[in-house]
Amino acid sequence: MTPLLLLMFLLVAAGGTVVVSTQDPKRQAVTLSVYGVLLALLFLLLQAPDVALSQVAVGTAVVPLMVLLAVRKVRGGKR
């Protein structure tokens, strides 16, 4: 295992811990987006560019947006 790969595994583990420990849903959506970027970089290092591209599209943009929209709907945002 290369040092760069080991570093990415540690960053992904730390990023997951940060996402789970964040209390505010808005901040959690932002940290989830950063976590998605970390996962995409890990997939790229593991030589899975198709999975990395999917992760960038879905995990970095769509999922955090859906979380923010759901939080806004639950909290009774602007109508």
Distance spanning both ends of the chain, measured CA to CA: 52
Contacts of 15 (CB under 8 A, 6+ apart): 31, 34, 35, 38
- Convert the pLDDT of each residue in 8-56 to its tens digit: 999 999 999 999 999 998 899 999 999 999 999 999 999 999 999 999 9
Compute the distance between CA of residue 52 and CA of residue 69 in angstroms, rounded to an integer. Answer: 25
Task: Read off the pLDDT band of 77 (50, 70, 90).
Answer: low
The pLDDT value recorded for residue 59 is 87
